[in-house]
Structure 1
Amino acid sequence: MSGQQPGRDGSPQVFQPLAGDDPTTIAGYRLAAKLGAGGMGKVYLSYTPGGRPVAIKVIRPEFGEDAEFRRRFTQEVQSAQRVQGLFTAPVIDADTNAAQPWLATAYVPGPSLADAVVEHGALPVDAVLLLIAGMAEALHVIHGAGIVHRDLKPSNVLLAADGPRVIDFGIAYAADATSLTGSGVTIGTPSFMAPEQAAGRRVTPATDIFALGQVAAYACTGAPAFGEGTSHGVLYRIVHEEPDLSGIPERLTELVTRCLAKDPEARPSVAEVIALCQAANAETVLRRPEDWLPAPVAADITVRAAAPAPVQTPPPPPSSAPTVAAYSPTAPVAPATPPPGYGPPQPQQPYPTPPPAATPSPAHAQAHHYAPTQFPAQPPRVPQPQGPQQPYPGWPGHPAAQPPRSQSRRGAIAVVAAVVVAVGGVVAYSALKENQQQTQGSGSSQGKDKSGGGASGDAKPGAKADPTPTEHKGINLTAGYHLTLGDDDVRPQQGEDGGYELSYDTGAYLDAETSDGNMVLLDPGQEGSLATCRAETRFAKNIYLNKISKGRQICVTTGTGHMGLVTVQGFSPEGSPSKYLTLDVTVWRNAIGSRSGS
């Protein structure tokens, strides 16, 4: 699903206008044009508030309905966010929880390799060497982020004036093995698969090296190395037969032959691929971006780069074309015009007061927070409002909310107030007030949750005292292990993805496993305490290790009502046989009350 190039219809128009079934905005991004479509969805052109073009890829609704796809897509987008290479199109924003998941990448004003070869023919050897060397550098950073591309093909390589750009890395993994792969939806291009991929065996970085060899063969001959035809026929040849390399130039023969080895172990590494390019041509480094491509292809890039920007769509009226917005069952629809920054509004904006209703509207129970280069695995959550006409505590201009009282209690107070006014029953009023305070001090677990975990963190008269913290020093939490904060002896236990309270996932991130659990990464210098952890609402379900350094602290809230403060004391040394974090953990048990009983 490259999508960053228009269809070839002979028209000089670079951008495709939006059709009637296309959305006009996506999570605050106003759309300007359609760039293309693929097996997984459509791609649109939009702009940041600063005027930088971005390509927004909206996944097909069928995939969004598949739970396994959504889980994998979230994991891969989080990993892709860490890829910052010179020859990749970086992911700058995304919402994997939307009704139609989407992600935004930097827009590249150039044709794909597939389009360039179809329009202008095979590339000369020097250009192919520069192409493969750049793609190898892209794979180096992609694999370094723990991603296997799985769908490296000419349409996923864009040609820019200063070198190639590899896009859509990791997305094929999300679609692989979902319920849709057996329903007529084809993911990936058979002509560029590796033997182990075609046979359903384990996929590794060597799988991408095989695809790199196929891309090289295509670029210099204009045809796939294993021919074309039906999917089954092509896949059979990839697994059981040798490629047709008769048209490969001599300088590229060793490179292509080694990359197309059937045995993954026999294929060269990324570093070896670059060395093979250097051996074939001393000018393999992209030092002359103005002339690394043939003149017709370079002219195509110039035309695209100079094309006038299409007019962005105005904010749609309520009954206009459909709008794809950041989805949450309890989040408000994002505005049509993006605020400063990328995409959806920041949660510090005043929260709108919902209209009067008999019951609270679920559309006002949580808010999104998206940053241009950070993405939360889950939308951050904020405390539930107390009623349909009451704003959130802590929002600008609104006082902190008071604990809710039942209708019967409000009625009783109203009656007593009337008595006080009519007869001056001061003694009766004082007695009721005292009784009310005593009742609040020994209320239900829900009442304790509201007072103990509120935004202010202030103790109420008669409230239960804060729990005594327990300290657990020097815990070495190995990847694939978890902690349960409610245990008397908090120590690592094997397993992840099993509903635990805190795990070190093998994907290189800390995970708040329970459904009601969350984490907050405190800012450097921010005091780590129970009051701070109660007040903070910058929630995340997982935090990647590249966001953490020694000394950083993380607040952990569990679904069973415990709170913890995790202090990172160190990381496993490079030569260690296992990956682990050294943590100090402070636990306040039953600090917010059990959510399961509320």
Structure 2
Amino acid sequence: MTDGSDDMMTPLSPLDPRETAGYRLLARLGEGGMGTVYFSHTRGGQPVAFKVIRREYGQDPDFRRRFEQEVRAARRVQGYHLVPVVDHDTAGPLPWIATAFVPGLTLADALTAHGPLPLPAVFQLVGCTARALGSIHAAEVVHRDLKPANILLGSTGPYVIDFGIARAAESTQLTRSGAIVGTPQYMSPEQALGEPVTGAADVFSLGLIAAVSATGRHPYGEGGATTLAVRIANTERAAPDLSGYPAPLRPLLERCLTADPAARITTDELAALSERAAGRPLRAFDGWLPAPLLERIARREAAAARPPEPTSTPTPTPTPTSPDAGAHWAAQPTVTAPPKPAAPPPGPGRPSAPRSARRVHPAPAAVGAVVAVALTAVVTWAVVSPDGGANHAGGDGKPTGTAAPVSPPPSSSPKAAYTLVFQDKPLTLRAPAFNTGTHVDLDAPKLFPDGKIGEDTGMELTYQDWGDSDLRFLTPMGRSSGTTPEECRTGVDTDTLPASIPKKDLTEGAALAKGTVLCTVTSDHNLAMLRITDVVPPAKNGGLSSGMPDYVTTLTLWKFAK
């Protein structure tokens, strides 16, 4: 790395671990309030950002419980412009999480170094981020901390990072006193008031990001984080003045920055509006950013292929157990609000509150009390999300290389060895009857017909007719071009399917045809391959009322060799 301003990796120090949980650590990506994030590869050779939680958090049982819930939820999120979780361990001495890695530049870093973006780039950024939020919300996850530091700019578009993981910090001692998790100047009004939030809160945050990205100016004026949060909390009384923003941008800001969550624009509507305003397809990324930014990203892509050598070679050590070998989690200023009962996290069988739900407004006196507390409160520093550290990071304290779907690794990457567990076991996935679902455990393998909502823990997919009839993937599922374990793993990493395929696409669109090869890393960390050998259309499979096809498959399972 010749240009220090583009260094996203720094050499390992003599005190840094060289291996953790079977992952060889090659360089540091950043360090924050909860530890350090390292650059590594999976056993299959995929580059990852490897984050290990510090001992003091790993020993907190409430944190571990919430961390497990949020990581499992994050693994269900699949779609474009998202950073997938590829591996994790929440039960070991030090919890860790690995996300796919791509060199890039955070939006916060880009705005600090290069100033506001051209308006077409802002619309493309917002549209792609809206699509990513749609996928996140479809998995019943709310980001809760969307900000410029959590949007990564790459040569193939923007990527949303750290979705859902921030919530684990709510259960720690740092936040149990009633502090609100989030970044004050990018909160929604309901979040600033300490109320339960839905996906609409992320839309409000995206509106704030759009305004700042286009002009460098916050819609709620000048001031510190606490001051801006108080103004945001009072949006219902005093909406932001948007008259100074470019005319093409104002309709978007107005529809995002409404006080009532139910009145805000949906993510699908926001993506469509942004695409029209950008004047180009959202997925057309040729020259989508100014040349200086694209050149800087290109230098980082080149540098990522050459991780720095360690400063020295220490005596081999076992898996680290000290806080110095932690993962990169950030501390951010948090507004202290009156304690409120925690809303139960969304999950299977407990969907997020619908956008159309009527918002319960606090009485004027209650709002005044919240504002008064916020004005007089001391800004506490609470852990809010991964990858927000201060060292070797982007403009907002984020590591500048982080996760996104990437191309297959170079041939120099370490290659996994696989042990065959079983091969070509018959497995027929029959269409569910009305208002039922079938859970599938590919590790066993075993089918659970007439399963219940919420009983899919440890499963890889569910074929269901509960409300939204679909085939839902509970672990990232990819399409493979071949039947070797190497091809199978590459398919998981580079051709990931959406988190669910709706009934219409399964029947009319024939989304999964005979001959399709599907692969996933299972909940037990094995590699599973499903080959579809026949598709029985609804008219011939017994007339089940769900009206979806049967899938006749064979299942092969490999273990990753240690």
Q: TM-score range by the shorter chain?
A: 0.5 to 0.7
The amino acid that maps onto 1:547 is: L
Relative to structure 1, is the Cα distance of residues 248 and 477 closer, same or farther in structure 2, using a 3 angstrom cutoff?
same
**Structure 2: distance between partners of 1:146 and 1:199:** 22
Paired with 1:255 and 1:525, the residues of 2 have a C-alpha distance of: 46
Q: Residues 26 and 323 of structure 1 are in contact (CA less than 8 Å); yes or no, is this contact kept in structure 2?
A: no
**2:22 corresponds to 1:28:** yes
Going from structure 1 to structure 2, the CA distance change for 1:158 and 1:90 (only over 3 Å counts) comes to same
The percent of aligned pairs where both chains have the same amino acid is 47
Q: Is the alpha carbon distance of 1:50 and 1:245 closer, same or farther for their aligned partners in structure 2, counting shifts above 3 Å?
A: same
C-alpha distance in 2, partners of 1:47/1:282? 38
Aligned to 1:163: 157
Correspondence list, 1:30-429, <5 A: 30-182=24-176, 187-227=181-221, 229-240=223-234, 241-287=238-284, 289-307=285-303, 308-310=305-307, 317-319=315-317, 322=320, 341=416
Whole-angstrom CA distance in 2 between matches of 1:225 and 1:284: 27
| Pair 1:522 & 2:444 matched | yes
| 1:543 aligned residue | 457
Amino acid at match of 2:320: P
- Contact 1:221–1:247, Cα closer than 8 Å, also in 2: no
* More off after superposition, 10-19 vs 307-316: 307-316
Partner Cα distance (2:91, 2:414) in 1: 21
8 Å CA contact 1:108–1:158 kept in 2: the answer is no
Quote the offset at 1:259 in angstroms.
0.5
Query: Aligned to 1:179, what secondary structure does the other structure show?
Result: coil
Deviations 1:459-491 (A, max 9, x none): xxxxxxxxxxxxxxx999999xxxxxxxxxxxx
3-state SS in 2 of match to 1:290: coil
- The answer for the alignment partner of 2:468 in structure 1 is none
Q: Give yes or no for contact 2:180–2:194 (8 Å, CA) kept in 1.
A: no
Residue 147 of structure 1: how far off its partner (Å): 0.6
Matched-pair contact (CA < 8 Å) for 1:110–1:160: yes
Say whether the 8 Å CA contact 2:74–2:165 is kept in structure 1: no
* Mapped partners of 1:231, 1:509: distance in 2: 46
| Partner of residue 585, structure 1 | none
Cα separation, 2, equivalents of 1:52 and 1:545: 24
RMSD: 4.0
Structure 2 counterpart SS, 1:168 = coil
DSSP-derived class of the 2:175 partner: helix
- Provide the residue aligned with 2:337 in structure 1: none
Q: Is the 8 A contact 1:157 1:165 kept in 2?
A: yes
Deviation at 1:216, TM superposition (A): 0.8
Structure 2 counterpart SS, 1:128: helix
Shift of 1:204: 0.3
Is the CA contact 2:29–2:37 (under 8 Å) kept in the aligned structure 1?
Answer: yes
Between Structure 1 and Structure 2, the one with more strand by share is 2
In structure 2, the CA distance between the partners of 1:145 and 1:315, relative to structure 1 (3 Å rule), is: farther
CA–CA distance in structure 2, aligned partners of residues 205 and 185 of structure 1: 20
The code of the aligned residue for 1:291 comes to: G
Which residue identity is paired with 2:282? Answer: V
> What pairs up with 1:503-522 in 2 under 5 angstroms?
522=444
What do residues 336-390 of structure 1 show as CA deviations (whole Å, max 9, x unaligned)?
Answer: xx99649xx9898xxxxxxxxxxxxxxxxxxxxxxxxxxxxxxxxxxxxxxxxxx
Measure, in 2, the Cα distance between the counterparts of 1:52 and 1:109. 13
Cα displacement (A) at 1:222: 1.9
Give the Å deviation of 1:12: 4.8
Describe the superposition over 1:132-187 as per-residue Cα deviations: whole angstroms up to 9, x where unpaired.
Answer: 11101111111111111111111010001111010100011111243221589984
> What amino acid is aligned across from residue 122 of structure 2 in structure 1?
V
Q: Distance in 2 between matches of 1:139 and 1:102?
A: 24
Output the amino acid matched with 1:274.
A
Does the 8 Å CA contact 1:286/1:292 hold for their aligned counterparts? no
Supply the distance in 1 between the matched residues of 2:63 and 2:87 (Cα, whole angstroms): 19
CA–CA separation in structure 2 for the residues paired with 1:573 and 1:102: 44
Q: What is the distance in 2 between the residues matched to 1:229 and 1:182?
A: 27
Instruction: Report the Cα distance in structure 1 between the residues aligned to 2:184 and 2:460, rounded to whole angstroms.
Output: 35
Query: 1:323–1:549: structure 2 CA closer, same or farther, 3 Å change rule?
Result: same
85-94 or 230-239, larger mean C-alpha shift: 230-239
Please list the CA deviations of residues 83-105 of structure 1 after superposition, one character each: whole Å capped at 9, or x if unmatched.
Answer: 22120011100111233321111
Deviations 1:212-245 (A, max 9, x none): 1111112112243334544432221111143353
* Separation (CA, whole Å) in 1 of partners of 2:240 and 2:420: 55
User: Separation in 1 of the partners of 2:414 and 2:419?
Assistant: 8
Deviations 1:38-93 (A, max 9, x none): 44442211123454321112223333232222212111111211222120011100
Q: Distance between the aligned counterparts of 1:76 and 1:154, measured in 2? A: 22
> Which aligned pairs between 1:469-508 and structure 2 lie closer than 5 A?
none
Maintained 8 Å contact 1:81/1:92 = yes
Q: Check conservation: 1:126, 1:281, Cα contact below 8 A.
A: yes
When residues 244 and 68 of structure 1 are mapped into structure 2, their CA distance, relative to the original with a 3 A threshold, is: farther
Structure 2: runs of 5 or more not aligned: 327-412, 422-431, 449-454, 465-541, 548-562
Taking structure 1 as the reference length, the TM-score comes to 0.53
For 1:165 and 1:304, how far apart are their aligned partners in 2? 16
> Could you say if the C-alpha distance between residues 509 and 201 of structure 1 is closer, same or farther in structure 2, counting changes exceeding 3 Å?
farther
Instruction: Specify whether residues 21 and 198 from structure 1 end up closer, same or farther in structure 2 by C-alpha distance, changes over 3 A only.
Output: farther
Is contact 1:17-1:33 (8 Å) kept?
yes
Task: Name the SS for the 1:36 alignment partner.
Answer: strand
Q: What is the letter of the counterpart of residue 132 of structure 1?
A: V
With structure 2 as the length reference, what TM-score do the two structures score?
0.56
Matched position secondary structure for 1:44: strand
Name 2:344's counterpart in structure 1.
none
Structure with larger RCO (C-alpha < 8 A, sep 6+): 2
CA apart distance, 1:119:
0.6
Aligned CA distance change for structure 1 residues 521 and 126 (closer, same or farther; 3 Å):
same
SS in 2 for 1:210: helix
Deviates more, 1:136-145 or 1:97-106: 97-106
Contact 1:509 1:544 in 2 (8 A): no
Partner secondary structure for residue 248 of structure 2: helix
Equivalent position amino acid for 2:19 in 1: T
Amino acid at match of 1:277: S
- 2-side partners of 1:574 and 1:226: how far apart? 50
Task: Give the corresponding residue for 2:329.
Answer: none
Equivalents in 1 of 2:546, 2:186: separation in Å? 35
Amino acid at match of 1:295: A
SS in 1 for 2:102: coil
Q: In structure 2, what is the equivalent of residue 351 of structure 1?
A: none
| Aligned length, in residue pairs | 361
Distance 1:27 1:225, change over 3 A: farther
